[in-house]
């Protein structure tokens, strides 16, 4: 029992309830944002990265393929792909910070508190999601520079997908982070996973023209179903020839069947929730 002398401010800790969980989630989420906002270098990199992806990569590729795009600028084509890349990198970075928290000891401060570990992971995922999705908004704001019209329906649609994708990729990263406990290993494994996934997702070139074996891999690649719906939304608002649409935004087909955008969204969501579920399972079972 606390014997309070006049100058002592004694406090008490309430019994654990759902409120503790909401609080824990909010704290973990907010910590990621505080750290982000308090790091000017990271913010600068965060602002420059989309510009580099879009203009250096997009313009560079343009010189290779001006004929096969049917008059559509390659920067326009890669725009949804760059959105995907930015989201992936940002979300991965947030997931990596979870591994660093473990390595630097701070994770222990969280795991000994009277709160559930699932709340910690959910807060972490939502924090990564928020930062990644805000970075996506920067890319979205550049739409006009690559001949993508600022139409509310387009912007809202793409933004909705961004949030969903940011959630899923962070959850996936957090899942890997609960398995791989060394920060350096995590970075290496992530690079190994992410780079081929990005290449095969249709972010930088259309996957319709790929040889059969790569085509199959790209259809198994979860990132394909994040880039494709964003591209379809963007292209539905462009005035381009049918041939261009057919080449550049053909959609994903399974045995000749066009996968609808909503099914793609549902798949992304399911992958995200499953990843988070696995992460919670691993994190609550070990340590």
Among the listed residues 34, 45, 52, 141, the single contact to another protein using CB under 8 A: 34
Among the listed residues 40, 105, 152, 256, the single contact to another protein using CB under 8 A: 105
Q: Which of 262, 197, 248 is nearest to 80 (CA)?
A: 248
Q: Could you say whether residue 14 binds another protein (CB under 8 A)?
A: yes
Q: Could you say whether residue 111 binds another protein (CB under 8 A)?
A: yes
Among the listed residues 18, 40, 67, 109, the single contact to another protein using CB under 8 A: 109
CA distances from 40 to 34, 45, 155, 217 (A): 11, 9, 28, 39
Among the listed residues 4, 212, 242, 262, the single contact to another protein using CB under 8 A: 4
Q: Which of 58, 56, 52 is nearest to 73 (CA)?
A: 58
The whole-angstrom separation of Cα 28 and Cα 45 is: 23
A 10 A CB-CB count for 219 gives: 17
Tokens of 245: 């649409």
Least distance (Å) between residue 283 CB and another protein: 14
Q: How many CA atoms lie within 13 A of 181 on its CB side?
A: 9
Least distance (Å) between residue 50 CB and another protein: 24
Least distance (Å) between residue 135 CB and another protein: 19
| Window 36-55: residues binding another protein (CB under 8 A) | 38-39
The whole-angstrom separation of Cα 12 and Cα 15 is: 10
Among the listed residues 87, 106, 171, 275, the single contact to another protein using CB under 8 A: 106
| Contact present, 33 and 26 (Cβ < 8 Å) | no
Q: Could you say whether residue 18 binds another protein (CB under 8 A)?
A: no
Among the listed residues 61, 113, 238, 263, the single contact to another protein using CB under 8 A: 113
Where on the chain is the footprint of another protein (CB under 8 A)? 1-5, 7-16, 19-20, 23-24, 27, 31, 34-35, 38-39, 104-115, 287
């Amino acid at each position: 029992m606390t014997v309070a002398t006049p100058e002592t401010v004694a406090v008490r800790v309430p019994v654990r309830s759902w409120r503790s969980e909401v609080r824990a989630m909010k704290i973990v989420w907010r910590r990621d944002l505080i750290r982000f906002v308090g790091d000017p270098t990271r913010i600068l990199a965060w602002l420059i990265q989309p510009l580099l992806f879009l203009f250096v990569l997009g313009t560079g590729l343009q010189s290779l393929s001006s004929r096969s795009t049917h008059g559509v600028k390659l920067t326009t084509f890669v725009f949804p792909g760059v959105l995907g890349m930015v989201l992936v990198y940002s979300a991965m970075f947030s997931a990596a910070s979870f591994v660093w928290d473990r390595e630097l000891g701070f994770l222990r401060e969280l795991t000994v508190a009277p709160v559930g570990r699932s709340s910690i992971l959910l807060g972490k995922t939502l924090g990564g999601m928020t930062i990644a999705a805000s970075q996506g908004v920067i890319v979205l704001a550049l739409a006009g520079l690559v001949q993508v019209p600022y139409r509310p329906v387009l912007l809202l649609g793409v933004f909705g997908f961004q949030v969903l994708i940011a959630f899923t990729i962070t959850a996936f990263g957090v899942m890997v982070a609960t398995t791989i406990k060394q920060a350096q290993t995590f970075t290496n494994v992530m690079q190994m996973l992410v780079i081929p996934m990005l290449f095969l997702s249709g972010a930088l070139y259309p996957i319709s023209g790929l040889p059969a074996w790569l085509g199959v891999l790209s259809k198994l690649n979860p990132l394909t179903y994040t880039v494709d719906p964003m591209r379809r939304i963007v292209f539905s608002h462009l005035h381009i020839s049918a041939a261009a649409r057919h080449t550049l935004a053909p959609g994903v087909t399974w045995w000749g069947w066009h996968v609808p955008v909503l099914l793609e969204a549902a798949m992304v969501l399911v992958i995200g929730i499953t990843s988070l579920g696995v992460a919670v399972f691993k994190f609550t079972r070990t340590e």
